[in-house]
Amino acid sequence: MEREFDIAIIGAGPAGLTAAITAKSLKPGARVALVEKLERAGKKLSASGNGRGNLSNRECDSLPQVLKFFSESGIAVKADEAGRLYPYSEEAKAVTSALVKRAENEGVILLTDTKVKDVEACSKDGFRIFVCDKGGEYVMRADKVAVTTGGKSFSSYGCTGDGYAIARSLGHKVVPPVPALTAIEVTKPLKSLKGVRTKALVSLFGDGKLIFEERGEVQFREDSLSGICIMNMSSHLPVADRADMADRCGNSKLKSCRIMINFVPEFLPEDLMRFLREKSRVKGISAGDLLETLLKKPVAAMILDEAGVSPDLDAAELSMSDLIAIVSATGAFTLVPCGRKGWKEAQVTKGGVALEEIDLTTMESKVRAGLYFAGEVIDYDGPCGGYNLHNAWLTGLKAGAAMVSGGK
Ligand SMILES: Cc1cc2nc3c(=O)[nH]c(=O)nc-3n(C[C@H](O)[C@H](O)[C@H](O)COP(=O)(O)OP(=O)(O)OC[C@H]3O[C@@H](n4cnc5c(N)ncnc54)[C@H](O)[C@@H]3O)c2cc1C
């Protein structure tokens, strides 16, 4: 026998929870099912922001709407000096718990350990949803369906791209998903810098044009760079032309890209040159001592190596071209990106259900009436700082409200 619902929401992450709570609180009589394949809701939300949950950002659009939802759900928030919003307790798990309790208290039917395998549009209206739980397979029927299955990163949190297959089967275009907000692999081995963290200005160039620039902490690994500024940069790396290469490393478009690291962004090149020339006159200074107090030791050693200057040379004997090479390697240390770290590390997915086929005021499909999308499953990816969770709350609010107001 088919289980009947007015609304079925697939995926109990922040977008699904928000959509379900909103729909049920606006229309208490509606039968709303929230289907989650894992044993509990909101696993990724609970782990977000290193467990602290960077929920949103003061810079985000429509923040008052999201803050109102937090307040109605009993979630206390605070902003840090950079405008990032966190739960007051800095415990993301508590946010998940508050939302699950609210959903259950509103009367949402939360079906955990239940995977949606397929969704089929009925010939007249409504949808048949093919699910599988511990008891086996069965079919649900719902007038409206929201796909809130998230992206493809961190599969242990339930995100394996199921929503893309559902969207495609219902006639939607999906922009090929690519790992984003992730570490960037580079061609140069960085073994000597492994574990070093240093502040810098990082820039990404493609075919000689500046694509992205941000100041922040760069974290070095043997084969890659990480840190928030690098993760934000990863979203701007060109995507391969071939769809089947889109989520792979080694995309040939990266060959024309360069990452430039300025380790001393506060210095103009001429000021750095003046500093180095003055310091080289100090008695007994070696080339290896020149960058001491300016750069961390392993970074200084790498810069000298890049400039082709032996650290044992007497600094006073360095030529003008040696000094120019050091200034240039310090202010514009250049690396060639060769890939993104994959789905295991990516915090979000770039790509997803194409936005032009969604009415962004209601999140309803323009292809099929009664079908909605919210959260990371759509082709949106924001930078670090709360923008991705904000997208989940906001699109969840829109879809939840539209599903009970009739949509189109
Ligand atoms: C480690 C980490 C830290 C992060 N930290 C932050 C942060 O601090 N701030 C920020 O803004 N963003 C952060 N993000 C990104 C943010 O967590 C996601 O963008 C957000 O969770 C997306 O919400 P969602 O509801 O769309 O999807 P998800 O949170 O991914 O939830 C989707 C749910 O759908 C379920 N599901 C999938 N397929 C099916 C199916 N077939 N049947 C039933 N259920 C299904 C999944 O199990 C999952 O529970 C982080 C991401 C990661 C990985």
- Give the ligand 1 atom nearest the CA of 388: 11
Nearest CA to ligand 1 atom 51: 347
Given ligand 1 and candidates 10, 34, 44, which is best to mutate, with the most ligand atoms within 8 Å of its CB? 44
Predicted confidence at residue 290, as pLDDT, reads 94
**What is the predicted pLDDT for the residue at 408?**
39
Closest ligand 1 atom number to CA of residue 389: 11
Which of the four CATH numbers 3.40.50.720, 1.10.8.50, 3.40.1410.10, 3.60.10.10 does domain 183-341 have?
Answer: 1.10.8.50
Strand segments, DSSP code E, in 181-248 are 184-186, 197-206, 209-220, 224-226
Q: Which atom of ligand 1 is nearest to the CA of 42?
A: 49
Atom from ligand 1 closest to the CA of residue 377: 26
CA 9 – CA 114 distance, rounded (Å): 12
Is there a contact between 381 and 6 (Cβ–Cβ < 8 Å)? no
Q: What is the pTM of this model?
A: 0.93
Q: Which tens digit of pLDDT belongs to each residue from 46-73?
A: 999 999 999 999 999 999 999 999 999 9
Q: How many residues does the chain have?
A: 408
Q: How confident is the model at residue 123 (pLDDT cuts 50, 70, 90)?
A: confident
Q: What is the SS3 assignment for 241-274?
A: CCHHHCCCCCCHHHHHEEEEEECCCCCCHHHHHH
d(Cα 223, Cα 254) in Å, to the nearest integer? 15
Radius of gyration of the chain (CA): 25
The ligand 1 atom at the shortest distance from the C-alpha of residue 375 is 26
Tell which atom from ligand 1 comes closest to the C-alpha of 386: 11
Q: How far apart are CA 233 and CA 173, in angstroms?
A: 26
Distance of alpha carbon 311 from alpha carbon 288, whole angstroms: 4
User: What residue ranges do the domains of the chain occupy?
Assistant: 3-179+347-405, 183-341
Q: Name residue, tokens 């904000």.
A: 390
Which residues are near ligand 1 (CB < 6 Å)?
10-16, 35-38, 43-45, 47-49, 53-54, 115-116, 148-150, 153-154, 158-159, 162, 347-348, 375-377, 386-389, 392
Residue 407's pLDDT band, with cuts at 50, 70 and 90, is: very low
- What is residue 241's predicted lDDT score, i.e. its pLDDT? 61
Percent over 70 (pLDDT), the chain? 96
CATH class as words, domain 3-179+347-405: alpha beta
Dump pLDDT digits (tens) for 227-268.
Answer: 999 999 999 998 866 554 444 455 677 888 999 999 999 999
Rounded distance from Cα 375 to ligand 1 centre (Å): 8
Contacts of 95 (CB under 8 A, 6+ apart): 42, 45, 46, 53, 55, 75, 87
Mutate which of 39, 389, 390, 391 to test ligand 1's pocket (most atoms within 8 Å of Cβ)? Answer: 389
Q: Is the model's pLDDT at 299 over the cut of 90?
A: yes
**Would the CATH topology of 3-179+347-405 be identical to that of 183-341?**
no
Largest alpha-carbon pair distance within the chain? Answer: 90
Nearest CA to ligand 1 atom 20: 389
Specify the DSSP class assigned to residue 408: -
Q: Do 75 and 87 touch, CB atoms closer than 8 A?
A: yes
Residue of the CA atom closest to atom 26 of ligand 1:
375
Report the alpha-carbon distance of residue 152 to residue 167 in Å, rounded.
Answer: 14
CA of 150 to the centre of ligand 1 (A): 5
